[in-house]
């Protein structure tokens, strides 16, 4: 238990360090790289906590796609680095104060309520079949989401559909006068119909 | 829990058949959304302009959904494995939501034809956001509420930034997006803390849990509760979280502003009232005072800041902030009359909002942006001047118009809940707000502007379409007709508030 | 749970990555110079960054990729438990995929996949 917790703390500390690098590094590309690093570390933390589906999603979605998207944003927008840094240190004291206040509050509340006396529960709630056939997060989500809660699935599908429509609506602009290549039209074209004898 | 045995394989279908009946309007709406999307994209390849076509189709679909909703089995029930809940309160709010959405589509139809925009996705996005709002209203747990909120918010971001060429629209969309993301973050954080502290996901479990144990025994539930509800305050634009409202209202095009002003307020106050009255009422002692503070600050700030505004949209935005303050104040009274007052206020708000936004959209070609631009309107278009006057009087809460009943019932319920100081502030602020609403009326009726408004009108005289003028006339007459015969208003609101409690 | 193989893979991949990077660092000839990384413009000092700005359509492609990526993540738990969740579970995800197929149809017809 202690070993696991120390590993957890180590990785979480590394993730915090990577998070600090995100906001403190000069080049935006470097901050995106350290963002990717912090995502990977977060997925390790989740793996340590045995929340394997979230770890998987972090690796696939955040590292695989969103970080790349961030890189694209960096390339699309020509962000001036110096201005951003000036603003950062201007707001730093206030933000730090508010954040420490929040963490102080949370710290007052958290340990009292989450510490469960495990020895108190285990003799009553240990079910041997479950101990033998243990499921991870992936399996339990699979059991529930597709059978009992299909409406969530449909809602998520609608959300993704909306994302497709919104992204295309906002970014895709097809000019009217632009000539495009229409491959099928070109292939369908018959020279007999096109050529005319000019008298 | 784990469906291992053979028995679980057939039990799904029996569970599903009832859901199909109870969720029929929503399922029909989703099918319509998919159909319109494919219809629009397939036929727009042929070069046709489909925006009016799809808008008309979506009005038809909304009418059908409304009919399906009125034919639903009735009573209180949980659907889809207790993900969704429905009672008379929700049903009535849903019907009004659908009617408002029909009004909004009609209004935008006119705007689309005026601007000759070729985005049929507009109506589809509106329908998707409507589906999200309906899911928000009927949600019975954190996840379905979140899905609904995100569906609504995501389509609203897209609607806000819809006008690609306008920098203001892009800015408004971006601001709305950032604020919405922060609000979603608050929602998720608060919801996960609530789940962590209590172990409940469903709202009905919260009412059971909190009625059986003293809330103070669940440590940290107050913090979680306030983080959770601050996201709703963000979304309705109540005072500590209001700064985005004027910018977003001002930047978006007029039809989208109408949608932002009308639809979410109805749904969010519906769900806030239901959450606070049905599920978190055991925490009443805790939430009453902070929410009263929020409400009082909202209407004080909304009224005072609107005094200095020259632009009509910013003025309406500050008016919207003070309206959400009054609505929150009605919720805070904690009585059945408070819920009734909220419903009455919402209905009067919707009526006056539809009237004024339709009028503004109709006046679009005369470029009315500042309040001073209204000068001489009564000479050139007395009907529109009358409609705007009716809606502004209703928003101010002057007696012969329906808005008076909203404010009256809110203040009476506040007195019944012994919120005397807050009620005093509310009355004072509505006096202040009367000042700037009457100032617009003075500009409309008694001033001749330096800019000849009539020149535009004689040229674009017929720019109110038939549907739009019908809508403006209908709502303006309703604003005056309901106070003459207010029984139906009181019946509907009382029925829904009883449905909320019972 | 049994994560040791994963840990083994991670250590192995970290080792290989650092080995390759270190090899190119130590073996190759290094002559760092400020001029090597700066933008080259003939005859005068560079006006701007060396990075050219992208077209927004790259971004569109990336967003569409994310969406279908998320769709795939919904399929992982489904694939693991398909045997237990039966026909109903199968059809629920078929509806989900159908919604996204509509999105794909929209995208295709709209020409978001074309490159002018």
A149 in any annotated domain? yes
- The answer to whether C95 faces chain A, any CB pair under 8 Å, is yes
Q: If pLDDT is split at 50, 70 and 90, which confidence band does C47 have?
A: low
The span from the first CA to the last CA of chain A, in angstroms, equals: 95
Query: Whole-number mean pLDDT of chain B?
Result: 87
The partner residue sitting opposite C109, judged by closest CB among B3, B16, B42, is B42
Q: What is the pLDDT of residue A78?
A: 65
Q: If pLDDT is split at 50, 70 and 90, which confidence band does B3 have?
A: very low
pLDDT digits (tens, 9 = 90+) for C1-36: 567 887 898 899 999 999 999 998 888 887 877 777
Same domain, A139 and A79: no
pLDDT digits (tens, 9 = 90+) for B443-489: 888 887 655 555 455 444 546 788 888 899 899 999 999 989 889 99
Q: What is the pLDDT of residue B204?
A: 87
Vertex A131 angle, CA A127 and A134, to 5°: 125
For a pLDDT cut of 90, what percent of chain B falls above it? 53
Q: If pLDDT is split at 50, 70 and 90, which confidence band does A174 have?
A: low
Q: What is d(CA B103, CA B59) in angstroms, rounded to the nearest whole number?
A: 9
pLDDT digits (tens, 9 = 90+) for B404-451: 999 999 999 999 989 999 999 999 999 999 998 999 999 888 887 655
CA distances from B60 to B29, B36, B64, B65, B355 (A): 11, 12, 6, 9, 22
In chain C, the domains with their CATH numbers are: 54-116 (1.20.58.1610)
- The answer to whether C66 faces chain A, any CB pair under 8 Å, is yes
A9 in any annotated domain? yes
B225 token code pair: 């509760």
Q: So what's the ipTM on this one?
A: 0.90
- The answer to whether A156 faces chain B, any CB pair under 8 Å, is yes
Q: What is the pLDDT of residue C45?
A: 63
pLDDT of B4 higher than 50: no
pLDDT digits (tens, 9 = 90+) for C51-62: 566 677 778 888
CATH of the domain at A2: 1.20.120.1200
Q: What is the pLDDT of residue B1?
A: 40
Same domain, A2 and A76: yes
User: How many structural domains are present in chain A?
Assistant: 2
Cβ-based neighbours of B216, under 8 Å, separated by 6 or more: none
For a pLDDT cut of 70, what percent of chain B falls above it? 92
What is the per-residue DSSP string for chain C? ---HHHHHHHHHHHHHHHHHHHHHHHHS-----HHHHSPP-TTS---S-SPPPPPHHHHHHHHHHHHHHHHHHHHHHHHHHHHHHHHHHHHHHHHHHHHHHHHHHHHHHHTTT---
**Residues in chain B within 8 Å Cβ distance of C109:** 41-42, 44-45
- Phi, psi dihedrals of residue A8, rounded to the nearest 5°: -60, -50
Domain boundary among A59, A85, A111: A85
pLDDT digits (tens, 9 = 90+) for A14-66: 999 999 898 888 777 888 889 999 999 999 888 888 788 888 888 888 888 88
Q: How far is C93 from chain B (nearest CA, A)?
A: 15
Cβ-based neighbours of A162, under 8 Å, separated by 6 or more: B125, B128, B151, B154, B155, B158
Q: What is the pLDDT of residue B9?
A: 45
The span from the first CA to the last CA of chain C, in angstroms, equals: 50
A67 in any annotated domain? yes
Q: What is the pLDDT of residue B493?
A: 92
Same domain, A74 and A148: no
pLDDT of A122 higher than 70: no
Among A2-11, A140-149, A190-199, C89-98, the range scoring the smallest mean pLDDT is A190-199
Residue appearing with tokens 């019944």: B416
Among A8-22, A124-138, B33-47, B222-236, the range scoring the smallest mean pLDDT is A124-138
Q: What is the pLDDT of residue B365?
A: 66
Q: How far is B60 from chain C (nearest CA, A)?
A: 22
A185 in any annotated domain? no
A54 in any annotated domain? yes
**Residues in chain A within 8 Å Cβ distance of C80:** 138-139, 142
H-state helical runs in A25-80:
28-48, 52-57, 67-76
Q: What is the pLDDT of residue C25?
A: 86
Q: Please state the domain extents for chain B.
A: 299-502
Domain of residue A15, residue span: 1-85
Percent of chain B as helix, strand, coil, to the nearest 5: 80, 0, 15
A164 in any annotated domain? yes
A144 in any annotated domain? yes
The partner residue sitting opposite A169, judged by closest CB among B30, B119, B150, is B119
Q: What is the pLDDT of residue B153?
A: 94
pLDDT of B241 higher than 50: yes
Residue to mutate among A137, A146, A172, with most C CBs inside 10 A, is A146
């Amino acid at each position: 238990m202690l070993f696991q917790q120390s590993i957890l703390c180590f990785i979480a500390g590394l993730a915090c360090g990577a998070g600090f690098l995100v906001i403190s590094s000069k080049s935006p590309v470097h901050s995106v790289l350290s963002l990717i690093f912090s995502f990977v570390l977060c997925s390790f933390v989740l793996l340590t906590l045995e929340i394997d589906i979230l770890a998987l999603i972090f690796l696939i979605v955040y590292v695989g796609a969103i970080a790349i998207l961030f890189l694209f944003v960096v390339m699309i927008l020509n962000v001036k680095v110096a201005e951003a840094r000036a603003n950062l240190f201007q707001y730093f004291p206030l933000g730090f104060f508010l954040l420490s206040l929040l963490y102080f509050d949370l710290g007052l509340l958290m340990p009292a309520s989450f510490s469960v006396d495990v020895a108190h529960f285990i003799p009553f709630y240990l079910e041997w079949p479950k101990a033998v056939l243990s499921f991870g997060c992936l399996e339990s989500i699979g059991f529930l989401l597709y059978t009992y809660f299909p409406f969530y699935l449909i809602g998520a599908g609608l959300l993704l559909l909306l994302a497709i429509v919104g992204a295309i609506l906002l970014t895709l602009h097809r000019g009217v006068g632009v000539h495009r290549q229409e491959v099928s039209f070109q292939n369908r074209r018959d020279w007999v119909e096109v050529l005319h004898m000019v008298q | 829990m784990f469906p291992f045995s053979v028995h679980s394989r057939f039990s799904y279908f029996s569970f599903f058949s009832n859901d199909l009946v109870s969720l029929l309007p929503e399922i029909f709406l989703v099918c319509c959304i998919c159909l319109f999307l494919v219809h629009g994209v397939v036929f727009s390849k042929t070069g046709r302009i489909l925006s009016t076509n799809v808008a008309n189709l979506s009005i038809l679909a909304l009418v059908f959904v409304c009919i399906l909703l009125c034919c639903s089995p009735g009573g209180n029930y949980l659907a889809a494995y207790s993900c969704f809940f429905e009672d008379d309160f929700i049903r009535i709010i849903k019907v009004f939501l659908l009617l408002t959405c029909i009004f909004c589509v009609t209004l935008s139809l006119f705007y689309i034809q005026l601007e000759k925009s070729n985005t049929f996705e507009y109506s589809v996005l509106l329908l998707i956001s409507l589906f999200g709002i309906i899911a928000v209203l009927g949600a019975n747990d954190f996840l379905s509420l979140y899905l609904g909120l995100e569906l609504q918010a995501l389509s609203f971001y897209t609607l806000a930034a819809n006008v690609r060429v306008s920098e203001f629209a892009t800015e408004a969309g971006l601001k709305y997006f950032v604020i919405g993301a922060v609000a979603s973050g608050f929602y998720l954080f608060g919801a996960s803390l609530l789940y962590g502290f209590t172990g409940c996901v469903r709202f009905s479990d919260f009412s059971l849990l909190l009625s059986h144990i003293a809330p103070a025994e669940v440590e940290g539930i107050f913090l979680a509760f306030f983080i959770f509800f601050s996201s709703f305050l963000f979304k309705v634009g109540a005072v500590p979280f209001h700064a985005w409202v004027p910018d977003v209202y001002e930047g978006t095009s007029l039809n989208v502003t109408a949608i932002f002003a009308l639809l979410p307020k109805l749904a969010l106050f519906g769900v806030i009232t239901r959450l606070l009255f049905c599920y978190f009422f055991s925490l009443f002692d805790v939430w009453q005072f902070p929410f009263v503070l929020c409400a009082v600050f909202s209407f004080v700030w909304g009224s005072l800041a609107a005094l200095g505004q020259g632009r009509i949209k910013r003025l309406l935005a500050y008016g919207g902030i003070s309206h959400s303050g009054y609505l929150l104040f009605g919720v805070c009274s904690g009585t059945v009359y408070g819920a009734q007052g909220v419903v009455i206020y919402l209905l009067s708000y919707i009526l006056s909002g539809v009237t004024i936004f339709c009028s503004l959209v109709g006046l679009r070609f005369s470029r009315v942006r500042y309040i001073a631009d209204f000068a001489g309107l009564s000479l050139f278009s007395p009907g529109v001047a009358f409609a705007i006057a009716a809606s502004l009087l209703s928003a101010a809460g002057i007696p012969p118009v329906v808005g008076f009943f909203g404010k009256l019932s809110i203040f009476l319920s506040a007195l019944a809940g012994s919120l005397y100081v807050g009620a005093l502030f509310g009355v004072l602020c509505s006096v202040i707000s009367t000042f700037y609403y009457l100032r617009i009326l003075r500009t409309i009726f008694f001033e001749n502007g330096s800019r000849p408004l009539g020149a535009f009108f004689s040229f674009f005289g017929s720019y109110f379409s038939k549907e739009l003028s019908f809508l403006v006339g209908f709502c303006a007459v309703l604003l005056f007709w309901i106070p003459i015969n207010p029984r139906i208003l009181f019946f509907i609101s009382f029925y829904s508030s009883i449905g909320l409690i019972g | 749970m049994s994560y040791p193989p994963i840990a083994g893979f991670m250590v192995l991949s970290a080792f290989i990555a650092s080995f390759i990077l270190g090899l190119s660092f130590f073996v190759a000839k290094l002559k760092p110079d400020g001029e090597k990384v700066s933008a080259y413009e003939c005859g005068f000092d560079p006006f701007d960054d060396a990075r050219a700005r992208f077209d927004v359509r790259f971004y569109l492609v990336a967003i569409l990729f994310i969406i279908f990526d998320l769709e795939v993540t919904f399929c992982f738990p489904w694939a693991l438990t398909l045997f237990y969740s039966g026909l109903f579970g199968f059809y629920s995800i078929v509806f989900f995929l159908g919604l996204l197929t509509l999105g794909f149809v929209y995208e295709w017809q709209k020409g978001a996949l074309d490159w002018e």
